[in-house]
């Protein structure tokens, strides 16, 4: 069922697990995400960023498809705007049927981030959407941003930020970054800071840059209070690498079979990640109803 990210992440917060938020740009990824969630009895979040919907995943086409299939699903599914920055993109996403908005003002000066987050908060309430914001800055792995101390979220500032913006969830910078880390490198996560953020804020916390962060890091981050993990790069790479290997095996492979192989590989990757972050077997379906497993 299509659901609010608020209920979903509050359940994750109370029960100490995390939900995957996966970037989706086509039919194969949508199917891989929804089928993985159903097979794992897991909630899931479908992320689409403004760049992705402008370049390829046209909202008029992709949202009806995702909504229709999500409504038939026996697990909770939320549709979230990933890294919304421009006012027009955010309004367009809400009008198109997203159930949640991430407003990313993390590159702005503090007071400006607050001011714009407050404005988006008011708008999300009108549209019945939940709101994720970001404090500190999760940058790019390629630029080494994961090692930048000055990008990390300050726990005391976070208290003020959450109180004034009334955000539902907060994306925190604790040592991950977007994209691929240099070969062989695993980021160092500031778990002490993460624990302090959780103790002080008590709301669902979000980890961006869920690719290549290392299994132990991810599991510990969940134990320390992360409830939503954004994943894009690794999943896209699974898709690309599967295409490469299928074509190497059979250069004349039919496109239909190639797409199906890509979808199956992505579904397997998602299911393994769901198990790792503890979101599996949280929702059970009987012909009468869907029940939450505590």
Give 77's strand partners. Answer: 2, 44
Q: Is residue 209 within the footprint of ligand G3H (CB under 6 A)?
A: yes
- Nearer CB in complex with ligand G3H: 12/141: 141
Please identify which residue in 208, 228, 267, 282 interacts with ligand G3H, judged by CB under 6 A: 208
Q: Of 6-14, 125-133, 188-196, 227-235, which segment contacts ligand G3H by CB under 6 A?
A: 227-235
Please identify which residue in 208, 228, 267, 282 interacts with Zn ion, judged by CB under 5 A: 208
Phi-psi region of 198 (alpha: psi -120 to 50; beta: other; left: phi over 0): alpha
Instruction: Please state whether beta strands 77-84 and 169-172 pair in parallel, antiparallel, or not at all (unpaired).
Output: unpaired
Task: Report what 210 binds from Zn ion, ligand G3H, none; CB cut-off 5-8 Å by kind.
Answer: ligand G3H
Please identify which residue in 30, 114, 231, 271 interacts with ligand G3H, judged by CB under 6 A: 231
- Nearer CB in complex with ligand G3H: 38/234: 234
Catalytic, out of 39, 82, 145, 234: 82
Residue 191: how many CB atoms within 10 A of its CB?
16
Q: Is residue 89 within the footprint of ligand G3H (CB under 6 A)?
A: no
- Nearer CB in complex with ligand G3H: 76/139: 139
Query: Residues 164 to 183: which contact ligand G3H by CB under 6 A?
Result: 178-179
Question: H-helix or E-strand containing 46?
Answer: strand 44-48
Of 172, 155, 185, 147, which is closest to residue 228 (Cα–Cα)?
Answer: 172
Q: Is residue 232 within the footprint of ligand G3H (CB under 6 A)?
A: yes
Total residues in contact with ligand G3H, by rule CB under 6 A: 13
Total residues in contact with Zn ion, by rule CB under 5 A: 2
- Rounded distance between C-alpha atoms, residue 180 and residue 196, angstroms: 27
DSSP letters for 133-177 = EEES---BGGGTGGG-GGGSPPHHHHHHHHHHH--SEEEE-SS--
Question: H-helix or E-strand containing 87?
Answer: helix 87-96
Q: Of 2-10, 30-38, 224-232, 268-276, which segment contacts Zn ion by CB under 5 A?
A: 224-232
- Nearer CB in complex with ligand G3H: 82/246: 82
How many residues are given for the chain? 294
Per-residue binding string, ligand G3H, 30-69, x by CB under 6 A, is ----------------------------------------
Of 127, 126, 82, 86, which is closest to residue 108 (Cα–Cα)?
Answer: 86
Please identify which residue in 80, 146, 167, 211 interacts with ligand G3H, judged by CB under 6 A: 211
Q: 3-state DSSP call for residue 259?
A: helix
Of 229, 103, 95, 212, which is closest to residue 168 (Cα–Cα)?
Answer: 103
Q: Please say if 104 is a catalytic residue.
A: no
Task: Report what 271 binds from Zn ion, ligand G3H, none; CB cut-off 5-8 Å by kind.
Answer: none
Give the residue numbers marked as catalytic.
82
* Contact positions vs ligand G3H (CB under 6 A): 82-83, 178-179, 208-211, 230-234
* Contact positions vs Zn ion (CB under 5 A): 208, 230
């Amino acid at each position: 069922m299509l659901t609010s990210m608020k209920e979903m992440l509050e359940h994750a917060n109370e029960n100490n697990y995390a939900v995957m938020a996966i970037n989706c740009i086509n039919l194969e990824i949508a199917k891989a995400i929804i089928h993985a969630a159903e097979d794992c009895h897991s909630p899931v979040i479908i992320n689409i960023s403004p760049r992705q919907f402008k370049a390829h995943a046209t909202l008029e086409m992709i949202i009806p498809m995702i909504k229709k299939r999500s409504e038939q699903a026996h697990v909770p599914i939320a549709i979230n705007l990933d890294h919304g920055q421009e006012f027009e993109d955010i309004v367009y996403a809400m009008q198109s049927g997203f159930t949640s908005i991430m407003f990313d003002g993390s590159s702005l000066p503090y007071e400006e981030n607050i001011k714009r987050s407050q404005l988006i908060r008011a708008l999300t309430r009108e549209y019945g959407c939940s709101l994720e914001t970001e404090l500190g800055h999760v940058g790019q792995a390629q630029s080494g941003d994961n090692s930048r101390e000055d990008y990390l979220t300050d726990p005391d500032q976070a208290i003020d930020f959450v109180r004034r913006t009334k955000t539902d969830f907060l994306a925190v910078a604790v040592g991950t970054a977007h994209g691929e880390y240099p070969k062989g490198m695993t980021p160092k996560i500031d778990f002490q800071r993460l624990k302090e953020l959780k103790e002080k804020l008590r709301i669902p916390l979000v980890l961006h840059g869920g690719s290549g962060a290392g299994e132990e890091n991810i599991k510990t981050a969940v134990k320390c209070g992360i409830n939503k993990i954004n994943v894009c790069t690794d999943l896209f790479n699974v898709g690309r690498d599967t295409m490469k290997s299928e074509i190497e095996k059979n250069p004349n492979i039919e496109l239909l079979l190639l797409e199906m192989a890509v979808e199956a590989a992505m579904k397997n990757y998602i299911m393994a990640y769901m198990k790792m972050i503890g979101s599996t077997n949280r929702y059970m379906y009987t012909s009468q109803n869907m029940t939450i497993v505590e």
